[in-house]
Chains A and B, each alone.
Chain A
Amino acid sequence: MPMSEPSPIVLVVDDEIQIRRFLRTGFELNGFVVHEAGNGAEAIRSATLRPIDLVIADLGLPDMDGSEVVERIRSWSSVPIIVLSVRSNEAEKVRLLELGADDYVVKPFGMAELLARVRVALRRQMRAVSGEPTVKAGPLTIDLAARAVMLNEKRLTLTPKEYRLLQVLAQHAGNVVTHQHLLKEVWGSIHVHDTHYLRIFVRKLRQKIEPHPDSPNILVTELGVGYRLVQSGSEIDAPAWPNSTPAKTEI
């Protein structure tokens, strides 16, 4: 466990008891304390009453849509939220991320995949609290305070837009950042649909920061959703199984 905190507390929100059961076991085996909620109202009550470090929320709840749970909790808390969905519709993922979810995992998923996402979200939360200014992603180091980018200890020269793009990704290191968010932050809100800007700049940026720009593994693409800066030490870049489940769209 890379976590220095003792026993992070995770709130699992799902109406399927079998899902809650395996999540509880999986989390407890990895040193988490687990709270459970079977519906949206219970989840919101639980999140207000007790201190929690992370929320895992299913999208299909009996009393309200999972996205509503995300919205309600996000209105007063910055606790990391990871959404579980059977629907792997890209537009839906984007909407959830815009509503304030930190990440999503498509059902069915493996425990390792979920744990990797959870650790990324917790680390990011910790960095936000402690004010840690550097982000490491493989051989790449981004010093947000000094506005410096180093590759293998060698300082890189980036154009202002390239740096801005990398900065936004680094601020959300490990998490997906949607195309719309990146376009708005780098080019301004009138360009939120100009995805081709992003494609061309990501290509240029990869030429500078990736050891193998043709098969990038630092700045990775989440098709139809956005980009993710893969952090060193996280298990996302080398999982044996989780990536094997193709995320496919459905109706």
Chain B
Amino acid sequence: MHGAGKFDLIRKELPGVLTTLGLVGALTAVLFAFVWEIGLAHGSVVYLVPVVIAATRWGIVSAIVAAICGVLASAFFFYEPLYSFRIKDPQEVIDLILFIFVAVVVSQLATRLKRQLEMARQREIDLRDLYAFSRRLAVAFDVSDIHAAIEDHLASVMQRNVVLFPSAREASNSNGRRASVTVPERVLAEVVEVASGHRDTAAGAMVTAASGEIWLVRAVSPKSPEFGVIAINLGLESKEHSNELRIRVDAVLADATATLERLGVAHAISEARMRSQTDQLREALIGSVSHELRTPLASILGAATVLSAAPMLQKERKLTALVHDVRDEAERLNNDIQNLLDATRISSDGVKPHVEWADPADIINSAVERCRHRLVDRRLAVDLPSDLPLIHVDPVLVQQALIQIFDNAVKYSVSGSRIAIDASTRDGRLIVSVTDQGAGLTIAEKSQIWDRFARGERHAATTSGSGLGLWIANAFIAANDGKVSAVSEGPGLGTTVNIELPITQAAIPQLESDADE
């Protein structure tokens, strides 16, 4: 290590030392001219100037070179006998010794000042990095955001290409390509090893890629595997210099890990990860459970309807009432299951509408028909103009959205109240309004009703429901490029739900006349 180290040192100091020599030379020339012209004696103190400059600019080595050269130049040019390094006057010898002492002290002080300045500047950069990092962490939405923030932070601190792999799986799936950096295969293999916990050295491993570049692979934190594994491209450095870099990496990572721990990032990561897994699991569970539940439900409902019509039971009014309960409750359960299935469909793979030209009156009428028994004790007022334009939508989705809105209107209004269904066109849009005389909406409720699992607090105790209905309606209408909105004068003053759907008039192909035949 010594040969190379010394060479490096010389290479680093040489420009400073050479410039110092130049400075001393120039100063000597100026002083010499002064002495020659004015007859000034004792110029040695002036040589403190290059010493201080060298010490602040290039460090202690250059400063000492400046001091020595200054002494030699004074002795040679300005002290008797001239043009010789010998000195006659003992007073001048003391002057020079004093000069050397002052030069060394000044250069020491200046160098220390310089180092402090550099440290302060570095600390400022680090702080700025850290501040940006913590700000990014604060707004990080999910695990991948957090990892990207860690990656960028390390890259800016290390000034090297840094790739962070959150897990072994990610490393083996990534094909080594991440954004702008390509990670060699050998490095990737090591990342997988480290991420799977097969390496227990905290210091990590050096891997020399086929291109000769040296990569350092290590866990970001030996304590918290959530932070992942990083691969840092140290470049084409010598083994020795790499080791120095590695020590710096350790220091930076220790710092970064401490920051991450302070910010509770590990907790945030594992929580975010668990949340997404829980979501997936929940969707899968709801999907399969709902399917499983529907099969026995078909038998229950079928059997109940057979019983309710059986002649032997007709005279037994109490038993018939029970059978009707079984039937009605099974039907309600079926609707709930259907809502859950719709919800899983919306959140797992989105709604894919099967669009066709449809008559809005057909959609509204069949939705009313489907809800007829639920609407039976409401005063229903359907007012549809006979010249409604055809719309290009998935009629079944729009119908189901309407059914949900009718259901909601019935649920929050009293028996005998009026439910009005109107349709009109405005600004190239079809507007279907469902107006009830029910519970109405508070301002807070107005903003919440379209949310998933939204349940009005005023009704949570008295009205059953999953809070999925209007969310499903909204999703189904949105899938048809429409939108839903709710208007209410206030609590107890009824609600109007408006469905807006686009009318693409120009797109309707011209119809051949019936008389042409």
Chain A interface (Cβ < 8 Å from any Cβ of B): 16, 18-19, 21-23, 25-26, 29, 86, 90-91, 107-112, 159-162, 179, 194-197, 199-204, 213-216, 221-224, 240-241, 243-251
Instruction: Determine if A224 and B395 form an interchain contact, defined as CB atoms under 8 angstroms apart.
Output: yes
Q: How far is the CA of A160 from the CA of B396 in the complex (A)?
A: 31
Is residue B484 within 8 Å, beta carbon to beta carbon, of the partner chain?
no
Instruction: Determine if A243 and B345 form an interchain contact, defined as CB atoms under 8 angstroms apart.
Output: no
Q: How far is the CA of A246 from the CA of B469 in the complex (A)?
A: 14
Kindly list chain B residues whose C-beta atoms are within 8 Å of the C-beta of A247. Answer: 370
Cβ contacts A to B, 23 pairs, < 8 Å? A16-B299, A18-B296, A21-B303, A108-B300, A109-B298, A109-B302, A111-B305, A161-B514, A161-B517, A194-B509, A196-B357, A196-B508, A223-B399, A224-B394, A224-B396, A241-B305, A243-B370, A243-B372, A243-B373, A245-B331, A245-B334, A246-B335, A247-B370
Of chain B, the residue at the smallest CB distance from A86 is B294
Knowing A110-B302, A111-B302, A221-B366, the reply to whether A86 touches B331 (Cβ < 8 A) is no
Stretch at the interface among B149-157, B183-191, B241-249, B382-390: B382-390
Instruction: Determine if A29 and B370 form an interchain contact, defined as CB atoms under 8 angstroms apart.
Output: no
Shortest CB–CB separation between residue A234 and chain B, in angstroms?
15
Q: How many residues of B contact A (CB 8 A)?
A: 59
Is residue B139 within 8 Å, beta carbon to beta carbon, of the partner chain?
no
Knowing A86-B298, A107-B298, the reply to whether A25 touches B384 (Cβ < 8 A) is no
* Contact pattern, B 361-373, Cβ under 8 Å of A = 1, otherwise 0: 1110110011111
Shortest CB–CB separation between residue B331 and chain A, in angstroms?
6
Q: A159: which of B294, B356, B396, B517 is its contact (CB, 8 Å)?
A: B517
Q: B341: which of A26, A194, A221, A250 is its contact (CB, 8 Å)?
A: A250
Kindly list chain B residues whose C-beta atoms are within 8 Å of the C-beta of A108. Answer: 294, 297-298, 300-302, 330-331, 334
Kindly list chain A residues whose C-beta atoms are within 8 Å of the C-beta of B511. Answer: 196-197, 200
Shortest CB–CB separation between residue B402 and chain A, in angstroms?
10
Q: How far is the CA of A107 from the CA of B291 in the complex (A)?
A: 12
Kindly list chain B residues whose C-beta atoms are within 8 Å of the C-beta of A214. Answer: 361, 382, 384, 386
Instruction: Determine if B295 and A16 form an interchain contact, defined as CB atoms under 8 angstroms apart.
Output: yes
Kindly list chain A residues whose C-beta atoms are within 8 Å of the C-beta of B296. Answer: 18
Knowing A241-B327, A250-B342, the reply to whether A19 touches B302 (Cβ < 8 A) is yes
Instruction: Determine if B356 and A246 form an interchain contact, defined as CB atoms under 8 angstroms apart.
Output: no
Instruction: Determine if B301 and A109 form an interchain contact, defined as CB atoms under 8 angstroms apart.
Output: yes
Kindly list chain A residues whose C-beta atoms are within 8 Å of the C-beta of B396. Answer: 90, 223-224, 248-249
Q: How far is the CA of A163 from the CA of B463 in the complex (A)?
A: 51
Q: B386: which of A19, A162, A213, A251 is its contact (CB, 8 Å)?
A: A213
Q: How far is the CA of A91 from the CA of B353 in the complex (A)?
A: 12
Please count the residue pairs between chain A and chain B whose beta carbons lie under 8 angstroms apart in the complex. 150
Stretch at the interface among B102-110, B224-232, B306-314: B306-314
Q: How far is the CA of A240 from the CA of B334 in the complex (A)?
A: 17
Kindly list chain A residues whose C-beta atoms are within 8 Å of the C-beta of B497. Answer: none
Chain B interface (Cβ < 8 Å from any Cβ of A): 291, 294-303, 305-306, 309-311, 327, 330-331, 334-335, 338, 341-342, 345, 349, 354, 356-359, 361-363, 365-366, 369-374, 382, 384, 386, 390, 394-397, 399-400, 403, 508-509, 511, 514-515, 517
10 pairs of A and B residues whose beta carbons are closest in the complex? A18-B299, A196-B357, A110-B305, A108-B298, A108-B301, A221-B362, A26-B306, A22-B303, A107-B298, A111-B305
Q: A244: which of B363, B373, B397 is its contact (CB, 8 Å)?
A: B373
Knowing A16-B295, A223-B395, A224-B395, the reply to whether A246 touches B403 (Cβ < 8 A) is yes
Give the most central of B338, B341, B345, B384: most A CB within 10 Å: B338
Instruction: Determine if B517 and A160 form an interchain contact, defined as CB atoms under 8 angstroms apart.
Output: yes
Of chain A, the residue at the smallest CB distance from B404 is A246
Kindly list chain A residues whose C-beta atoms are within 8 Å of the C-beta of B403. Answer: 246
Knowing A29-B309, A243-B372, A250-B342, the reply to whether A201 touches B514 (Cβ < 8 A) is yes
Instruction: Determine if B306 and A111 form an interchain contact, defined as CB atoms under 8 angstroms apart.
Output: yes
Of chain B, the residue at the smallest CB distance from A216 is B365
Give the most central of A16, A86, A110: most B CB within 10 Å: A110
Instruction: Determine if B390 and A196 form an interchain contact, defined as CB atoms under 8 angstroms apart.
Output: yes
Q: A248: which of B295, B361, B400 is its contact (CB, 8 Å)?
A: B400
Kindly list chain B residues whose C-beta atoms are within 8 Å of the C-beta of A224. Answer: 354, 356, 394-396
Kindly list chain A residues whose C-beta atoms are within 8 Å of the C-beta of B331. Answer: 108, 241, 244-245
Shortest CB–CB separation between residue B369 and chain A, in angstroms?
6
Q: How far is the CA of A79 from the CA of B515 in the complex (A)?
A: 39
Q: B369: which of A109, A111, A159, A243 is its contact (CB, 8 Å)?
A: A243
Of chain B, the residue at the smallest CB distance from A29 is B310
Q: How far is the CA of A194 from the CA of B390 in the complex (A)?
A: 13
Shortest CB–CB separation between residue A58 and chain B, in angstroms?
10
Kindly list chain B residues whose C-beta atoms are within 8 Å of the C-beta of A23. Answer: 302
Q: How far is the CA of A109 from the CA of B304 in the complex (A)?
A: 10
Knowing A91-B354, A224-B354, the reply to whether A22 touches B299 (Cβ < 8 A) is yes
Of chain A, the residue at the smallest CB distance from B388 is A203
Shortest CB–CB separation between residue A199 and chain B, in angstroms?
5
Instruction: Determine if B509 and A112 form an interchain contact, defined as CB atoms under 8 angstroms apart.
Output: no
Of chain A, the residue at the smallest CB distance from B395 is A223
Kindly list chain A residues whose C-beta atoms are within 8 Å of the C-beta of B338. Answer: 246, 248, 250
Instruction: Determine if A244 and B372 form an interchain contact, defined as CB atoms under 8 angstroms apart.
Output: yes
Q: How far is the CA of A206 from the CA of B515 in the complex (A)?
A: 18
Q: How far is the CA of A161 from the CA of B374 in the complex (A)?
A: 38
Shortest CB–CB separation between residue A4 and chain B, in angstroms?
21
Q: How far is the CA of A181 from the CA of B402 in the complex (A)?
A: 28
Instruction: Determine if B345 and A251 form an interchain contact, defined as CB atoms under 8 angstroms apart.
Output: yes
Known: A26-B302, A159-B517, A244-B371. 11 other contacts (CB 8 A): A16-B299, A23-B302, A26-B309, A86-B294, A108-B334, A159-B515, A241-B331, A241-B373, A243-B373, A246-B338, A250-B342
Of chain A, the residue at the smallest CB distance from B358 is A199
Give the most central of B298, B366, B374, B517: most A CB within 10 Å: B298
Kindly list chain B residues whose C-beta atoms are within 8 Å of the C-beta of A25. Answer: 303, 306
Instruction: Determine if B373 and A250 form an interchain contact, defined as CB atoms under 8 angstroms apart.
Output: no
Instruction: Determine if B515 and A19 form an interchain contact, defined as CB atoms under 8 angstroms apart.
Output: no
Instruction: Determine if A221 and B305 form an interchain contact, defined as CB atoms under 8 angstroms apart.
Output: no
Instruction: Determine if A199 and B390 form an interchain contact, defined as CB atoms under 8 angstroms apart.
Output: yes
Q: How far is the CA of A195 from the CA of B391 in the complex (A)?
A: 11
Shortest CB–CB separation between residue B506 and chain A, in angstroms?
13
Q: How far is the CA of A117 from the CA of B371 in the complex (A)?
A: 20
Of chain A, the residue at the smallest CB distance from B403 is A246
Shortest CB–CB separation between residue A60 and chain B, in angstroms?
9
Q: How far is the CA of A221 from the CA of B342 in the complex (A)?
A: 23
Q: How far is the CA of A248 from the CA of B301 in the complex (A)?
A: 17
Instruction: Determine if B301 and A110 form an interchain contact, defined as CB atoms under 8 angstroms apart.
Output: yes
Shortest CB–CB separation between residue A12 and chain B, in angstroms?
12
Of chain B, the residue at the smallest CB distance from A158 is B514
